[in-house]
Structure 1
Amino acid sequence: MARKSWIQREKKRENLEQKYRLIRRSSKKERCKVGLLNDQRKIHGKLQSPPRNSSPTRLRRRCFSTGRARANYRDFGLSGHSLREMINRCLLPGVTGSSW
């Protein structure tokens, strides 16, 4: 189980990312349209003005059940540990576990 503070920090980052999403997209589109380098630098300054944690690259996928940050499968939203447990208990329909 992940620390609750890590999970709360991640939720805060998600909220900030949603809040500043439109500002980032519009300034990126502006930067593509402008041809002069000085104007591009001014627009790049606008991109740097929102908080760092509002950047989408700072977000991290976490396991839905445990909050684990590593070994996540996008299709299920689960970490490898919890995915294997659920497969062994036959809780995920259509998924077969392999053993060799």
Structure 2
Amino acid sequence: MARKSLIQREKKRHKLQQKYYWIRQSLKKERNKAPSLKERWKIHGKLQSPPRNSVPIRLRRRCFLTGRPRANHRDFELSGHILREMVHACLLPGITRSSW
């Protein structure tokens, strides 16, 4: 189980990312349409003004149940060992289990 503070920090980043998403998108479109290099630099400065934690690259995928940050499957939002346990318990339909 991941520490609660790390999970809360990740939730806060997710909220910030959603809050500033449209602002970032509009600034990126402006920057791409800017005719001169000086205007592009000005828009680039505006693009850096929102908080750093609002950048989508700072988000980390975590397991839905345990909060584990590694070995996550995108389709299920579960970490590998939890996914395997659920498959062996037949809780996820349509997945074939394999053991070798």
Question: What TM-score comes out, normalization by structure 2 length?
Answer: 0.97
Secondary structure of the equivalent of 2:39? helix
Percent identical pairs in the alignment equals: 72
Three-state SS of the structure 1 residue aligned to 2:91 is coil
Q: After superposition, what is the alpha-carbon deviation per residue over 1:25-81, rounded to whole angstroms, capped at 9, x for unaligned?
A: 000000000120000000000110000000000001111111111000011110001
- Matched to 1:61, the amino acid is R
What SS does the corresponding residue of 1:22 show, helix, strand or coil?
A: helix
Please give the secondary structure, in 1, of the residue aligned with 2:62.
Answer: coil
Cα RMSD (Å): 0.6
User: Which structure 1 residue ranges, 4+ long, deviate > 4 Å from structure 2?
Assistant: none
1:68 aligned partner: 68
**Cα distance in 1 between the residues matched to 2:64 and 2:79:** 8
Structure 1: gaps of 5 or more residues: none
Count of aligned positions:
100
Q: CA deviation at 1:99?
A: 1.2
Q: What residue number does 1:23 align with?
A: 23
TM-score, normalised by the number of residues in structure 1: 0.97
- Opposite residue 75 of structure 2, the aligned amino acid is D
Find the counterpart in structure 2 of residue 86 from structure 1. 86
Within 2, Cα distance between the matches of 1:74 and 1:50?
28
**Unaligned residue ranges in structure 2 (runs of 5+):** none
One-letter amino acid of the structure 2 residue matched with residue 23 of structure 1: I
